[in-house]
Structure 1
Amino acid sequence: MLGGVRSVPVVFLATALVLIGCSAAGTGDLPGAQEQKSTATPDGGVAAPDGLPALRVQTVLDGLDHPWDVARAPDGTLLVDERGGRLTAVAPDGTARELDADLADLFAEGETGLMGLVLSPAFAEDRRFYTCQGVEEDGGAEIQVIAWTVDEDWTTATRVADPLLGGIPVNEATGRHGGCRVRFDPSGALLVGTGDNAVGSHPQDLGSLAGKVLRIDPATGGPAPGNPFADDADPDTRLLLSSGHRNVQGIAVRPGSGQVLTVEQGPDRDDEVNLSVPGGNYGWDPDGPGGDYDESVPMTDPAIPGAVPAVWSSGGPTIATSGADVVSGPRWGGYDGALLVGVLKDTGVLALRLDGTGRLLEQFRVPELEDTLGRVRSPVAGADGALYLTTDNGGGEDRLLRVTPEPSR
């Protein structure tokens, strides 16, 4: 357990530019597949293209256990959470402090616990942040979005909307498919990606908050203005942005475009990256005979009228995609504008290059991060131009990392 304050030295990792093979990832009949470019390696992987800058990887904080998400405050402080129930602030000088925060009601089982984390867009004024987490309540459990404030000295986090949104189902037996990423869209609405809890009826049930992307007002927890089902009689349906999801682990907004991309994990095949369409159904329907959870069906079932096809799919086998973000700016060179996706099973970071409409142009793996860090949960682009990563290996062996491009020579 990290307690009190400690100073963490920055450790530089090797940055050898060896192109390491990775599992093949295909798109089949998906939009943009005909435009996709990749360079196959002898073992069937996808190599990085020429012209990428070398990357420097630094350890910001170690000794973590299943860190899930990270956010960078305007003052340069990093706030990181751990699935088992801990919030830690890392000051710009490297000093780390565990926040005093009431997490006594946390439901942490399997994949569920303290998960998504995001700062208010007005954090410099309101000191507000949001978590998505499992909660034990009234003899049962559910997933909730909770709003907090943190003091200026980064010592205490206080719940101010408890919950902002409740009633998101959880798998109480196993914690499987708990979601739960939170991000702001360009309009200021709070997006919440949820999992289906391994219950086959949830993704296609517009009256359930599981297996969905929700779009809520961050002040009230109610439906955000402009939601596609705003006039529905069911108050839960009014919260929905999209349905037919299996386990939404990543949400990213493309700078300058307003496009929202979501990342979710498939069953035996077809992890997916999807372009968000208001009211879209993304085609996951595992509701088998007798209510069985049938994981043999396609991730995007073509039998569902209007099912939205994926921008990218892993094909088979899956690689367990997780969080994602877009890096941008001239210093990133060949990575500029790429969506970087954390990979848990086939360990590393996947880079996807998309055109302006969201069609896939190119995919490759980031060489310096391939099979060197173990499971990567969350890539997060900071306002300082760096990319922050959390690993998810467990056993107190996890790290918060800072990745920056080396200056060109």
Structure 2
Amino acid sequence: MLHKRIVSQRSGSAATLGCLLALSALATHAQERPVSSERFALRVETVASGLEHPWSVAFLPDGRMLVTERPGRMRIVNGDGELSAPLPGLPAVAARGQGGLLDVVLAPDFAESRQVFWSYAERRAEGSGTSVARGRLVNDRLEDVKVIFRQTPGVESHGHFGSRLVFARDGALFVTLGERQARHFAVRAQDLETHFGKIVRLDRDGKALPDNPFWRVAGAAPEIWSYGHRNVQGAALHPQTGELWAVEHGPKGGDELNIVRAGANYGWPLVTHGIAYSGEPLGVATERPGIASAVKVWVPSIATTGLAFYTGDRLAPWRGNVFVGGLYGMLVRLELDGERVVHEERLLTELKERIRDVRQGPDGCLYVLTDSPKGRLLKLDRAAP
């Protein structure tokens, strides 16, 4: 059953008519509750509910949506908010600790290829690691499934898998990878021989691209694009520059928004604005020569996950803003002046729900996922005057 909730808050691309009609069907039977806001009244609707720890959402050309659930299910949400049965064809998912089924994205040429890419925690003989698979979505099932990339090495840890997938304008696939959490693994975020704490850049077969920055560096993993990351769980392309921006979790304090550039070192665990959960100091500095500085740092942490640039017309006052999900119960809106953050607004705090993902839909609305055993897919639209 589709439940709707409307909340007032402060405050794209063109879609097919069929997609817009399907998405507009989600706006029926809503109930209103006013909440203060900075700019305009915002309607927040529950598109679908009953999702178990949902992690990512992707929009299909026919107006339906793919949603991943961390325990290892991928479902389709139709225009009435109904959930399909889990799609058959997924490889085994290691759903333990922070692991499970993670991100999902469509291939840039999905209309022709029908290819879908997803990341997940995979159990291996030596432990576990983040893997990426692809398959073709045909008649609501995944076919020709193939694992195209595996983070190495696999280790015995159930934390910090990452992982977001972003296709660049040139068709390359960025994959964000965590440093696996334990201190003796975290230090390897600085080690170019491993995929721990890295963002990698691949072709659609999962192979390293020859113009990657460490392609010819002896001993380095050729897939690496950037290193020194802790646990990146939000990433998106800047709509003007095409550069990759990402948010990553700090420890206790020190969440970061970064512009991810080829060959750059983002410092973890040497440079951080956070401390250990025990209260002990971490790293050697908050800034250091040769270490890329963050665009923004959150102290205390908001537990950053999910990232989207807004480019649409429906919420026009927000055009050019960055939206970041926070597991501490908020959606953060950031205004930019070039590469500087000049204003921050915290939205959806009244919901008191963990925000796992945020995406711009083809109708110009924002969609967010709440992370809980009974998670929801929410739609943020402008309220009627």
Size of the aligned set, in residue pairs, is 354
Distance 1:190 1:66 in 2: 25
Cα deviation, residue 89, structure 1: 0.5
Question: What is the CA–CA distance in structure 2 between the aligned matches of 1:341 and 1:306, rounded to whole Å?
Answer: 27
1:116–1:274 Cα change, 3 Å: same
After superposition, where does 1:4-83 map in structure 2 within 5 Å?
8-9=1-2, 11-17=3-9, 50=38, 52-83=39-70
Give the structure 2 partner of residue 359 of structure 1.
340
Match for residue 198 of structure 2?
Answer: 212
Query: 1:85-164 counterparts in 2 under 5 A?
Result: 85-103=72-90, 105-138=92-125, 140-151=127-138, 153-154=139-140, 156-161=141-146, 163-164=147-148
Alignment of 1:144-223 (within 5 A): 144-151=131-138, 153-154=139-140, 156-161=141-146, 163-169=147-153, 172-173=156-157, 175-198=158-181, 199-218=185-204, 220-223=205-208
- Structure 2 equivalent of residue 33 of structure 1: none
Letter in 2 for 1:249: Q
Q: What CA distance in whole angstroms lies between the structure 2 residues aligned with 1:75 and 1:311?
A: 37
Counterpart selection for 1:400 from 370, 377, 380: 377
Which residue does the alignment assign to 1:276? 260
Residue aligning to 1:266? 250
Q: Does residue 238 in structure 1 map to residue 222 in structure 2?
A: yes
Asked whether the 8 Å contact 2:106–2:117 carries over to 1, the reply is: yes
Q: Residue 382 of structure 1: CA displacement?
A: 1.8
SS in structure 2 of the partner of residue 371 of structure 1: helix
1:31 corresponding residue in structure 2: none
How many percent identity over aligned positions?
A: 35
Cα drift, residue 58 of structure 1: 1.4
In structure 2, how many angstroms separate the alpha carbons of the residues matched to 1:178 and 1:299?
A: 25
Indicate which of 343, 346, 351 corresponds to 2:326: 343
1:297 is the counterpart of 2:282 = yes
* 1: CA distance, partners of 2:344 / 2:10: 17
Contact 1:282 1:300 in 2 (8 A): no
Task: In structure 1, give the amino acid aligned to 2:135.
Answer: W
Query: Is the contact between residue 4 and residue 47 of structure 2 (CA under 8 Å) also seen in structure 1?
Result: no
Deviations 1:185-231 (A, max 9, x none): 2221111111100213221001111101111101x211135311222
* Cα distance in 2 between the residues matched to 1:299 and 1:129: 41
**Alignment deviations for residues 136-179 of structure 1 (CA, whole Å, 9 cap, x no partner):** 2346432210111111x32x113432x10013445534x11111
The equivalent residue for 2:33 is none
Q: Which amino acid aligns with 1:144?
A: S
- Once the two structures are overlaid, the 10-residue window that deviates more, 381-390 or 318-327, is 381-390
Query: 1:339: Cα distance to partner?
Result: 0.7
Q: Deviations over 1:241-291 (max 9, x none)?
A: 11000001110112132121101000111100001111110011269xxxx
Check conservation: 2:8, 2:383, Cα contact below 8 A.
Answer: no
Letter in 2 for 1:242: S
3-state SS of paired residue (2:61):
coil
Partner of 1:38: none
Write the distance in 1 (CA, Å) between the matches of 2:53 and 2:153.
22
Q: Tell whether the 8 Å contact from 2:101 to 2:119 is kept in structure 1 after alignment.
A: yes
Letter in 1 for 2:382: P
Residue type of the partner of 1:223? A
Task: Kindly indicate whether structure 1 or structure 2 has the higher relative contact order, using CA contacts under 8 Å at least 6 residues apart.
Answer: 1
Tell me how far apart the structure 1 counterparts of residues 250 and 99 of structure 2 sit (CA, whole Å).
17
Q: Deviations over 1:370-395 (max 9, x none)?
A: 2315000000112221211111122x
Can you list the C-alpha shifts for 1:39-75, whole angstroms capped at 9, x where unaligned? xxxxxxxxx984x232211111111111000100111
Gaps of 5+ in 1: 1-7, 20-47
Mapped to 2, the partners of 1:272 and 1:49 lie a distance apart of 25
Change (3 A) 1:103 1:393: same
**Residue deviations 1:294-338 (CA, integer Å, cap 9, x gap):** 9732597534x31001001102x2111111111122321321111
TM-score (norm 1): 0.80
8 Å CA contact 1:170, 1:178 repeated in 2? no
> Is the contact between residue 286 and residue 293 of structure 1 (CA under 8 Å) also seen in structure 2?
no
Report the CA distance shift for 1:381/1:225 in structure 2 as closer, same or farther (over 3 A): farther
> By how many angstroms is 1:232 displaced?
2.4
Cα gap change, 1:239 to 1:299, in 2 (>3 Å): farther
SS of alignment partner, residue 278 of structure 1? coil
What whole-Å deviation, never above 9, does each CA across 1:326-379 have from its counterpart, x for those lacking one? 11223213211111000002x1101111223x222211112xx12315000000
List runs of 5+ in structure 2 lacking aligned partners: 12-35
Aligned partners of 1:194 and 1:213 also within 8 Å: yes
